[in-house]
């Protein structure tokens, strides 16, 4: 009889899990604040692993209320609740529990990827992608021209993450159009959300950004291939198991020279289009 009841409960739970995925999930988060934006909308937190959800990571998080960041400063150790909704994530219940000295190189890539980080001067390994026209495209096919490369996905909920990379690349595209010494430069945006970002979605996205197909290519493809390629440049991606379009990630933008060698990697979202254009101009 007991066994029978146990089976029934399992069956009910399984049905519940299938029919109504939770709209909102909450996880305890512990970490150190590395930065707080002046408007108190975002806190960059280096946090520990959230068991069953995401690896240890440094990310800029929105907060449910900017007042939560009053009195919170870089170096503070916090406990918070990470609330994950279908379209994004934010912190609530932020509580300071201590302080610790800030480490240098806070944006160091996660060591959990298992792949060696590429160093400037090294050849970027080739990989197979699919472009916004649904055509197979190897990374090595861009050889012969300098490439500025970034990673994004079209439904990213944080406006200063992937959407900022898109806006920056759109600005760089304008610069390279108007500067004859940059006319060979090619822009490449790689989506790490192949589930949503099909070629058709990327093509529409490119149109919205007024991307010139002769200068700016959008790629996606096999998820593991993308992850492996991206991890060599320091990108860390964590997808929610239950909801693969909910993606936690950091940012990487890179310059690759005409011979396919890595020149420079920009971490985070603070680099400016002018700086990228100047670094492209300095290539010889
Ligand atoms: Cu993003």
Q: What is the pLDDT of residue 7?
A: 39
**Distance separating alpha carbons of residues 251 and 248, to the nearest angstrom:** 10
pLDDT digits (tens, 9 = 90+) for 116-160: 899 999 999 999 999 999 999 999 999 999 999 999 999 887 777
Please determine, for residue 6, whether its predicted confidence score (pLDDT) is greater than 70: no
Q: What is the CA(152)–ligand 1 centre distance, in A? A: 6
Q: What is the CA(157)–ligand 1 centre distance, in A? A: 7
Please determine, for residue 33, whether its predicted confidence score (pLDDT) is greater than 80: yes
Look at strands 57-63 and 76-85 and give their pairing.
Answer: unpaired
Please determine, for residue 17, whether its predicted confidence score (pLDDT) is greater than 50: no
State both tokens at 142: 């861009």
Q: What is the pLDDT of residue 103?
A: 75
**Phi, psi at residue 186, to the nearest 5°?**
-120, 140
Q: What is the CA(156)–ligand 1 centre distance, in A? A: 4
Please determine, for residue 114, whether its predicted confidence score (pLDDT) is greater than 70: no
Q: What is the pLDDT of residue 243?
A: 64
pLDDT digits (tens, 9 = 90+) for 34-46: 889 889 988 988 8
pLDDT digits (tens, 9 = 90+) for 233-253: 999 887 766 666 568 788 999
Q: Which residues contact 178 (CB under 8 A, 6 or more apart)?
A: none
Q: Both ends of the chain: CA-CA distance in Å? A: 78
Residue 268, sorted as left (phi over 0), alpha (psi -120 to 50) or beta, turns out to be: left
Q: What is the CA(4)–ligand 1 centre distance, in A? A: 46
**Distance separating alpha carbons of residues 27 and 273, to the nearest angstrom:** 36
Q: What is the CA(126)–ligand 1 centre distance, in A? A: 24
Q: What is the CA(6)–ligand 1 centre distance, in A? A: 42
Q: What is the CA(70)–ligand 1 centre distance, in A? A: 26
- What pLDDT band is residue 115 in, cutting at 50, 70 and 90? low
If one compares 30 and 16, the residue with the highest pLDDT of the two is: 30
Please determine, for residue 261, whether its predicted confidence score (pLDDT) is greater than 70: yes
Q: What is the pLDDT of residue 54?
A: 67
pTM, 2 dp:
0.66
pLDDT digits (tens, 9 = 90+) for 168-213: 999 999 999 999 999 999 999 999 999 999 999 999 999 999 999 9
């Amino acid at each position: 009889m007991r066994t029978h009841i146990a089976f029934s409960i399992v069956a009910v739970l399984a049905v519940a899990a299938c029919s109504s995925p939770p709209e909102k999930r909450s996880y305890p988060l512990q970490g150190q604040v590395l930065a707080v934006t002046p408007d108190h909308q975002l806190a960059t937190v280096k946090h520990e692993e959230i068991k069953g959800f995401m690896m240890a990571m440094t990310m800029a998080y929105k907060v449910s209320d900017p007042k939560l960041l009053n009195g919170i400063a870089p170096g503070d150790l916090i406990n918070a609740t990470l609330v994950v909704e279908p379209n994004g994530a934010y912190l609530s219940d932020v509580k300071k529990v201590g302080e610790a000295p800030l480490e240098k190189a806070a944006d160091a890539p996660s060591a959990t990827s298992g792949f060696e980080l590429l160093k400037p001067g090294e050849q970027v390994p080739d990989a197979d992608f699919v472009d916004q026209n649904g055509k197979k495209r190897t990374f090595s096919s861009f050889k012969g021209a300098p490439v500025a490369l970034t990673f994004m996905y079209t439904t990213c909920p944080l406006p200063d993450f992937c959407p900022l990379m898109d806006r920056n690349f759109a600005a760089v595209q304008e610069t390279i159009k108007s500067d004859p010494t940059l006319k060979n430069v090619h822009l490449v945006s790689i989506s790490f959300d192949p589930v949503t970002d099909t070629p058709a979605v990327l093509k529409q996205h490119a149109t919205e950004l007024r991307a010139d197909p002769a200068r700016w290519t959008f790629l996606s493809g096999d998820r593991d291939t993308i992850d492996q390629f991206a991890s060599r440049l320091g990108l860390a991606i964590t997808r929610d198991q239950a909801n693969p379009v909910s993606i936690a990630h950091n940012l990487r933008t890179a310059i690759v020279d005409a011979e396919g060698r890595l020149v420079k990697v920009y971490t985070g979202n603070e680099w400016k289009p002018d700086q990228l254009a100047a670094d492209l101009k300095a290539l010889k």
